[in-house]
Amino acid sequence: MGRTLPSSTQNFLQEQASFARFRRALRRSDQVALDDLFASARQHLAAAAYAANALPFETFLLAMLLEEHKQVMRLRQLVEADLHITPGDG
């Protein structure tokens, strides 16, 4: 019989658990930010299943980065829209 590989969700939960002591050492505000990053990665577990060649944590970091970049792009669009709406108000 072949070896059973852990699922993306199992890998994710294992990686998240491995950072428990690190998380506890952080300030409360940083704990909230770290929790938010892990929540971002959790949104992409289905896609992570297709990245079998990468290390699991690399995949989760990329998912976190993806969500952060999406937020930057949304904020950039808001700033650019605001600048275009009120160019003569300065």
For the whole model, what pTM was predicted?
A: 0.76
Query: Can you tell me the distance from the alpha carbon of 62 to that of 64, in angstroms, rounded to the nearest whole number?
Result: 5
Per-residue pLDDT tens digits for 35-51? 999 999 999 999 988 88
| Token duo for residue 36 | 């938010």
Query: Can you tell me the distance from the alpha carbon of 66 to that of 75, in angstroms, rounded to the nearest whole number?
Result: 14
Confidence of residue 1 (pLDDT cuts 50, 70, 90): low
**In the block, residue with structure tokens 């428990």:** 20
